[in-house]
Amino acid sequence: MGAAIGEVFAESEWRVALVASSSWSHAFICDKTWRMRPDTAGDRRLYDAMTKGDLEPWTGTSLDQIEDAGRQELLNWFPLLGAMHAFGRPIPNWSEFVETDVFNSNKVFATFEA
C-alpha cells in the first residue's frame, strides 16, 4: 500500500507530506513483558532496519507479531516506509530512537529527504 501511495504522489504536481504518527510498542498491551515494559528489543530491530533502508524485517513482520509486541500504532509506519522506498529514499536523513519505560512506550522520530 505504501509503495502504491508513493508512486502516485511521485507523479503528482502537488507537494505532499506523508506522516506516521505514533509510539512504537506499548507496555500496557504487551503480555510478554508483563505489561510493564515496551518490547524494546523488537522496536530496536525494526528501527535499525529502517535506518539502513532494509525493508525486509518490516515486510516479514506479521500482524500477530505486531499485536504480540503491543505495536498496533506502529501500523502507521509500514505504509510510510513503503512509500519512501517507492520514492527512492529508503533511509531517513535524520532519526532518533528514544527508549523509555516512563511513558509506557518507546518513541521514534524520523525525517526523510523531500
User: Cα(112)–Cα(87) distance, rounded to whole angstroms?
Assistant: 10
| Domain map (residue ranges) of the chain | 2-111
Higher-scoring residue by pLDDT: 105, 34: 105
User: What are 8-66's pLDDT values in tens digits?
Assistant: 887 888 888 878 777 787 777 777 777 777 888 999 999 999 999 999 999 999 999 98
Query: How high is the pLDDT of residue 33?
Result: 74
- Residues paired with 58 in a beta bridge: none
Its pTM stands at 0.85
How sure is the predictor about 100, in pLDDT bands with cuts at 50, 70 and 90?
confident
Query: Between 2-10 and 77-86, two packed helices, what is the crossing angle to 10 degrees?
Result: 50
Alpha-carbon distance of 46 to 95, in angstroms, equals 13
Neighbours of 15 (CB within 10 A): 7
